[in-house]
Amino acid sequence: MEQGDESAAAAAEQQAGGAEERLPGDLLHHFERVLYSDPLIDEVGFLHPTQFASLGCGQDGDSPSRALQFHHRYFWCRDHKLAISSEILPELYRAARHAYHNARNAPLSVTHLMGHTKALLLLCPDLLTAWNSRKMVLLENYDFAKLQDELQLCALILSYSPKNESTWSHRRWVLKQVAEQHQDMTELVEKESLLVKEIAEVLDELKKSTRWSELHVADSCCFHYRRSLLLALLDSCLVNGEDSFSWESETYLLWKEELRWDEILIRRYQGRESLWNHRRFLSQRWIQHLLAIEETCPATTSQVDLFISKEIGLLSECLNGPANEFEESYVQVELSALYVLWISKQVPAVKRKLEESLHSVSMGSLKDVLVRACRPEKRRLWMNLLGLADRSQ
């Protein structure tokens, strides 16, 4: 009965709409309500409004009795997965921070303080004062169940921010509290070992981060993390004396798949600089690898030429793509042009190949791409970097 009331209330809130839903206090209330309703949430995604709008509630014939669901204008929760529209993140963070300061300085209940700090830390896990407030509450009375909940909160944050030192520090503190009261730590140690193993193993972590990266394409940190994992993989191959980029190696296949995956995301989510930056990293290494192979094993068909032609094809697709209401297509055009210009600067050996490929698809030269796609300030910068005379000025 309570769950039916919950669903009816959520539906009423969604239909109400209006400006009042954007009041920071209301947003925080809905957010904390979701967190309280499903304490087993194990994944959080911050979605662009266009992505969030595509989410549904009660899909695949599921009923509220089969899976806990919550659907609001800016929040969606199902199967212990929580999605938040990125549209309201600044307001939500400010509301959570304000509520936390009020709870810390005023004689509010412990429940309010813990609820506000949980919401705040999920949005910004680096706030040490919020972690310390939770420690003070937990120290008042030892409660093993609450400490287990604290470990789950830490695991949730580490699932999308695995290098966050504040969260790891708090997790160590919680385990120390448990160890002082429990002689048998076998089960907890096993769980911690599993968590650390999952984070430490490069290939497993790379696969694990794929889904998260797909849901956070504007977050440069997750793609920087993937680059660190890929470089760690290359280093491990060198240490073991393996040819990491031989045609049959796992690293070669993995790098090729990463390029393909990144291209899919670029086509799906226009105007995301993090995706193009990731492609710069992948392409530079890939081209250098292909050039090295061609030096030692010349082939009839140049793999470098094929790759360059493919990238120019992606540029052409972006330049000629339809506009959209969010003007993301304009950003996509500039990012694609800057990507090609960056390659010509970082890998001079392929500059001539790039020019030839540009002419083959009737886009002229690098200068023509600059003039067509880039803002004036970017255009002047790249004219200087590439040594192109700007005769129009």
**Domain residue spans of the chain:** 1-124, 125-200, 202-386
Distance from C-alpha of 374 to C-alpha of 124, rounded to nearest angstrom: 34
- pLDDT, tens digit (0-9, with 9 covering 90-100), for 201-211: 677 778 888 88
The arithmetic mean of pLDDT across residues 130-157, rounded, is 90
Q: Closest Cα to residue 318, out of 372, 255, 277?
A: 372
- pLDDT, tens digit (0-9, with 9 covering 90-100), for 23-64: 778 889 999 999 998 888 988 888 888 878 777 643 333 434
| One-character DSSP codes across 207-264 | HHHHHHHHH-TT-HHHHHHHHHHHHHHHHHHHHTT--TTSTTSHHHHHHHHHHHHHHH
**pLDDT for residue 123:** 92
Contact by Cβ (8 Å): 21, 13: yes
**pLDDT for residue 144:** 85
- Of 107 and 98, more confident: 98
Distance from C-alpha of 89 to C-alpha of 86, rounded to nearest angstrom: 5
Rg from Cα positions in the chain: 25
Query: For residue 329, which amino acid is it?
Result: S
- pLDDT, tens digit (0-9, with 9 covering 90-100), for 165-217: 888 889 889 888 888 876 566 777 676 666 666 555 677 778 888 888 998 89
Distance from C-alpha of 268 to C-alpha of 382, rounded to nearest angstrom: 27
**DSSP three-state, residue 389:** coil
**pLDDT for residue 322:** 76
Distance from C-alpha of 147 to C-alpha of 142, rounded to nearest angstrom: 8
Helix (H) or strand (E) holding 43: strand 43-47
**pLDDT-based confidence at residue 250 (cuts at 50, 70, 90):** low
